[in-house]
Amino acid sequence: MKPSSCKAKGRRLQNKLAADLREALGFSAADIKPALMSENGMDLKLSEAARKVFPFAVEAKSRESLPLWTSIAQAEENAESEGLRPLLAFKRNGSGVYVTLRWEDFLKLAGKTAKLAEVLG
């Protein structure tokens, strides 16, 4: 696959993730936007308001074969430099998007979901 095709796949995933998050969280394009393909750091750029609601540094990978631990390390490095939690979003051709996050972060989300379910009854 040509490097330009690989970058286009990555760009499509970043655009999808940004659009999905904006819709789910009610933010504008100014609050959650995909990074430029040559830009270092997080793959989604978040405003301060978005960071308060979604405190994750997203690393997006659209590949057939994913070097999992290298990708997680990249997400962790970007998250640490931004003061956020790492989140790896990945897909391959013909699949949905999956995410990987630290167990502690998952437990916090699960606890908030359980509390919300109690409130909503």
Question: Which pLDDT value is given to residue 115?
Answer: 81
* Fold of the 3-120 domain: Trna Endonuclease; Chain: A, domain 1 (3.40.1350)
Domain layout of the chain by residue ranges = 3-120
Question: Which pLDDT value is given to residue 4?
Answer: 64
- In this prediction, residue 117 has a pLDDT band, given cuts at 50, 70 and 90, of confident
Question: Which pLDDT value is given to residue 3?
Answer: 63
Asked if residue 6 has pLDDT above 70, the reply is no
Question: What is the rounded CA–CA span in Å between residue 27 and residue 92?
Answer: 27
> Could you tell me the pTM of the whole model?
0.88
